[in-house]
Amino acid sequence: QQDAVQAAIDCILTLRIPKELLEQYAKGVVPHLKSFRQELDECAEYLQVSPGSVENLVAYNYVTDDPSLKCLIRCAGINAGWWSVGGNNSGLQPPVIESYFAPGCDDTCYVKRTQDCVSANVVPCQDDCSQAYQAFLCYYHQYGNLKSSEEYIPLPQLDAVQAAIDCMLILRTPKELLEQYVQGVFPDVPETQCLYRCQYLAEGLYDGVTFNLTRNYIREYAVPSPQIKDPATQACVDSALSSSSCNECARFWAGRGCLKNYGVPNHSGSYFQVAAGLVLNQRTCL
């Protein structure tokens, strides 16, 4: 265990992990990574599905008529973030579930096949468990091989707001700016740039060196934007981050400029708006 701790310390020093991110790690806020099997096993505990039933489900390539096992798949989807319940964006989130499957190298039709399968098999008259189950089967049979690796899970909204609150408190964001954030106004000033940087660190979208474009794509599942993963976007980010500026927040801000036109408009801003109101209500001395 001591060797593992020392290795972690060495990595932190080598990579020069930013102070803000270390403070997030100390609070237990780290990028959420899980494999599909981990999510399935967790849900089996929640739903009291026996380990033997899970093993049989996997052995039979997830083919089942058992409603409880279909609900198990739905639970795994909620756990992973690829199945949403309630709100204006309920149901399947393709950018999230895609990360759990590896298409064949020469397969150029997997996206259309999967979309056609979902359109044909996920229908409104089904119950929610059946819809989630059928959506999963479409990806399992049409998109690619199910990975065994741990994949990125976008932070749920409440956790993202809490991360924003933590960042505001860590960075001691001035009251005057918080009052503007509550109104949905985000001035382009150093404090705002550093707040965005802290939020991206907390969500695992930026590591202090570069942006993880795949995670940014997954995070923007409500408005899928494959352009985020384009080589041109990576080149833009690399160019922005290669700046000789000593101001880390300014470098981050320039890199973020390559992504801001894709995905959910004002995504982080919506978290900041809620978080700022909560911070103002809980602090009397700012």
The per-residue pLDDT for 26 is 52
Question: Any idea what the CATH number is for the domain that residue 16 is in?
Answer: 1.10.238
Handedness of CA 233, 239, 241, 245 (dihedral sign): negative
**Do residue 86 and residue 68 come from a single domain?**
yes
Tell me: the pLDDT tens digits for 204-228? 999 999 999 999 999 998 888 899 9
Question: Any idea what the CATH number is for the domain that residue 67 is in?
Answer: 1.10.238.20
**Do residue 138 and residue 56 come from a single domain?**
yes
**Do residue 38 and residue 17 come from a single domain?**
no
Tell me: the pLDDT tens digits for 52-91? 999 999 999 999 999 999 999 999 999 999 999 876 678 9
Give the end of a domain, one of 124, 152, 180.
Answer: 152
**Do residue 242 and residue 126 come from a single domain?**
no
The per-residue pLDDT for 238 is 94
Domain of residue 210 covers 1-30+155-284
Q: Model's pTM, two decimal places?
A: 0.81
Contact 282, 174 (CB under 8 A): no
**Do residue 181 and residue 274 come from a single domain?**
yes
**Do residue 89 and residue 20 come from a single domain?**
no
Mean pLDDT of the chain: 89
Contact 145, 101 (CB under 8 A): yes
Tell me: the pLDDT tens digits for 251-278? 999 999 999 888 888 899 999 999 999 9
Tell me: the pLDDT tens digits for 22-57? 555 554 445 689 999 999 999 999 999 999 999 999
Contact 61, 140 (CB under 8 A): yes
**Do residue 160 and residue 277 come from a single domain?**
yes
Identify the H or E element spanning 152. Answer: strand 151-153
The DSSP annotation for 157-207 comes to HHHHHHHHHHHHHHHT--HHHHHHHHTT----SHHHHHHHHHHHHHTTSB-
**Do residue 161 and residue 124 come from a single domain?**
no
User: What single DSSP character describes residue 143?
Assistant: I
Q: How many domains does the chain have?
A: 2
Distance of alpha carbon 130 from alpha carbon 49, whole angstroms = 17
**Do residue 160 and residue 278 come from a single domain?**
yes
Tell me: the pLDDT tens digits for 87-107? 667 899 999 999 999 999 999
**Do residue 22 and residue 161 come from a single domain?**
yes
Axis crossing angle, helix 190-202 with helix 157-171, rounded to the nearest 10: 130
Give the end of a domain, one of 106, 126, 152.
Answer: 152
The per-residue pLDDT for 2 is 54
**Do residue 161 and residue 279 come from a single domain?**
yes
The per-residue pLDDT for 143 is 98
Give the end of a domain, one of 137, 152, 167.
Answer: 152
**Do residue 41 and residue 126 come from a single domain?**
yes
